[in-house]
Amino acid sequence: MQLAKHIQKFTGLDDNVVAAICNKFTQITARKKEILLEEGQRCCHYYYVEKGCLRLYFTDDKGVEQTIQFALESWWMTDLNAFNKNSNSSYSIQSLETSTIMGIENKTLQSLMEKHPALEKYFRRIYERAYSAALFRMKVLRLPKDISYNMFEKQYPEFVQRIPQKILASFLGFTPEYLSELRRKKAKHK
Residues in touch with a copy of itself (CB under 8 A): 56, 58, 60-61, 66, 68-69, 79-81, 84, 90-91, 117-118, 120-121, 123-124, 127-128, 130-132, 134-139, 142-144, 147
For residues 51 and 113, which CB has a smaller minimum distance to a copy of itself in the complex?
A: 113
CB of 98 to a copy of itself, least distance (A): 26
Helix axes of 165-172 and 176-188: crossing angle, nearest 10 degrees: 100
CB of 8 to a copy of itself, least distance (A): 16
For residues 27 and 132, which CB has a smaller minimum distance to a copy of itself in the complex?
A: 132
CB of 145 to a copy of itself, least distance (A): 12
For residues 128 and 158, which CB has a smaller minimum distance to a copy of itself in the complex?
A: 128
CB of 31 to a copy of itself, least distance (A): 26
For residues 135 and 187, which CB has a smaller minimum distance to a copy of itself in the complex?
A: 135
For residues 98 and 156, which CB has a smaller minimum distance to a copy of itself in the complex?
A: 156
Greatest alpha-carbon span in the chain: 56
CA distance 149 to 183: 9
Alpha-carbon distance values, 140 to 42, 95, 155, 171 (Å): 32, 25, 11, 11
Provide the β-strand partners of residue 49.
101
The arrangement of strands across the sheet holding 45-51 comes to 26-30, 99-105, 45-51, 76-77
CB-based contacts of 138-143 (< 8 A; 24+ apart in sequence)? 141/172, 141/173
